A and B are shown apart, each in its own frame.
Chain A
């Protein structure tokens, strides 16, 4: 590849690059959301077993997938920041955390709303719901630890270590919860039995892409703010758009 990736590892250059990428991701997220919702609600047929209720899947499954992937990405960035001491990776990790937590929350919320008509209860101690809840706790722990340490360097490193320990724990937690659930013989409905219509899969895929684009846009926007915040004492920052065109207030 001709692009020198290391060039963009510096917050200074990444700031500009992220600024250029955000509109693309934002626009594609909006378009994909519209397309996905259109296909999901107007093209995809009604499910034989679950009626209209199954349409929650188009938001529930993408957000669940994203919440898990974002945790892994966050832990990966955190590990990079911890091992190679690259500032940008730590900033990315702390920018991803809130979005991941929100995705986990949406996934839980929509899961509960799906559960009510299907299981007759808002909440089931289903293995997936429970693991998702624990994932949300892990996100909240990361955010809380990062927020309560004043020194940004220590905050980055401590939260990174926590994220890594958490990501090692995630498979153990998932396995144990699943095992616990089968022991208790919960009334979990298996969705794999019903074959999915092709259109449903397409809508799901488009919504997944929409969520990815949205997550990229928001995370990049947040990381730009974090870069500004951390680098506010440097001179390059006075030349960026948003600062440079505002002349110094005359006194």
Chain B
């Protein structure tokens, strides 16, 4: 197995990644309703806020970024439960763990696919919702940049929680309890960037910190998630 590992070329690692992503995307397309539900949840949560706090445009403009970020956080929690559970139930996950290829790479592929299915649509929908809150175009641009950097982190950190709560009763709620505190920095920097641009401050520091978090999670979370899967599958 170790020999296999050494022989493996870079291209095969990349091929594997693409393969896993494509497979998960095809599976997601077969269950389109799941993807849509997450999106509808996102839109609904965002639309509930004005009803809750009142229609004053000044206030809504101020809180728009925070509301969109919190809604993105919550809706990404919704879809995380499905990240490994289907593969766990039909035994595919066990096969993946026995495969000679590195589990971290497979996990990274699954994270990427999860982001494309549940993170990317949110990012694309965010401008429309931003307009609902009367956000200026510049702020919407920063919001999108922040979401593009931040939502992959949510998928990656969330994957750790999804792996740890695999097959547990009440896993969904537990997952949120575990993952949400860990996502607070993303929320702070993402929403902070929009606030900085609205008050005329430079945004580079916020976005570069988000980028740093993204790189950190890219390096560590696949391996940690693989360890978590090993613990859960024992």
Contact = CB atoms under 8 A, between A and B. Distances in A.
A and B touch in the complex (CB under 8 A): yes
Nearest to A140: B177
B52 interface: no
B195 A158 contact: no
A179 B193 CA distance: 12
Interface string A138-166: 10110011001100011001100110011
B227 interface: yes
Interface of A: 134, 137-138, 140-141, 144-145, 148-149, 153-154, 157-158, 161-162, 165-166, 168-169, 172-173, 175-177, 179-180, 183
Contacts of B224: 161, 165
Contact of A141 (B168, B181, B192): B181
B164 A176 contact: no
A161 B185 contact: no
Nearest to B221: A165
Interface residues of B, number: 28
Interface in B189-207: 189, 192, 195-196
B119 to A, nearest CB: 20
B178 A162 contact: yes
A148 B184 contact: no
- Say whether chain A's binding surface is mostly helix, strand, loop, or mixed: helix
A99 to B, nearest CB: 19
Contact of A176 (B165, B188, B220, B228): B188
A145 B188 contact: no
Contact of B231 (A141, A154, A177): A154
Interface of B: 160, 164-165, 168-170, 174, 177-178, 180-182, 184-185, 188-189, 192, 195-196, 209, 213, 220, 224, 227-228, 231-232, 234
Q: Most chain-B Cβ atoms within 10 A of its Cβ — which of A158, A179, A183? A: A158
Contacts of B231: 154, 157-158, 161
Contacts of B170: 148
B169 A145 contact: no
A169 B182 contact: yes
Contacts of A154: 231-232, 234
B177 A161 contact: no
Contacts of B228: 158, 161
A9 B22 CA distance: 48
Of the listed residues B168, B182, B188, B227, the one surrounded by the most CB atoms of chain A closer than 10 A to its CB is B182
A173 B189 contact: no
9 contacts: A140-B177, A141-B177, A141-B178, A144-B174, A157-B231, A158-B164, A161-B228, A179-B188, A183-B195
A149 B182 contact: no
Given A148-B174, A183-B192, A138 B234 contact: no
Contact of B188 (A137, A148, A149, A177): A177
A71 to B, nearest CB: 12
Contacts of B213: 172
B188 A180 contact: yes
Given A153-B234, A176-B188, A183-B196, 15 more contacts: A134-B181, A137-B177, A140-B177, A145-B178, A148-B165, A157-B231, A158-B232, A161-B164, A166-B181, A169-B181, A173-B182, A176-B189, A177-B188, A180-B188, A180-B192
Contacts of A138: 181
Most buried by A among B178, B189, B220: B178
Nearest to B170: A148
